[in-house]
Amino acid sequence: MPQPLTHLDETGAAHMVDVGHKQPTTREAIATGRITMSPQAATAIKQGTIKKGDVLATARIAGIMAAKKTAELIPLCHPLPLTRVAIDLAPDETGVTITATAATYGQTGVEMEALTAATVALLTLYDMAKAVDKAMVIGEVRLLSKKGGKSGDWTA
């Protein structure tokens, strides 16, 4: 039997889930995504020759900032006191793979923060390198793992 949708009340109206009764626990989520591009754009990013500046450093900061703003972007997300956000960028000859980790000690998970961080970091890469390659493709954004909470650990 499918699980009930937690963000709908008994009348079907959307609402923020009450997590006030839940015990805080250490929680972590890891998300990933990829942007593929021309070899020319990938080389320019790796060599640091994009005219807008340090693409990888800017994407890292954008991802961190995005994780901190998730509750402002996703309507039913709880604002969380993040204890850590890490953005790993792995450029190669056809693009960049991003891995975003978000952690907190709280009453609800950080999956949305990790996914938001990865997505905004990818969008930042696109924005900074679009003069070299407008045909870049952002994709493969997904949750890799989550730890903590009542439902326990999960890995893709």
The residues carrying an active-site annotation are: 127
Report the C-alpha gap between 129 and 8 in whole angstroms.
40
Q: Are 143 and 114 in contact (CB under 8 A)?
A: yes
Per DSSP, the three-state class of 57 is: helix
CA 121 to chain centroid: 8
**Do the beta carbons of residue 124 and residue 59 sit within 8 Å?**
yes
- 8 A C-beta contact, residue 30 and residue 147: no
SS3 143: strand
Which tokens go with 142? 């997904």
Q: What is the rounded distance in angstroms from the CA atom of residue 150 to the CA atom of residue 140?
A: 27
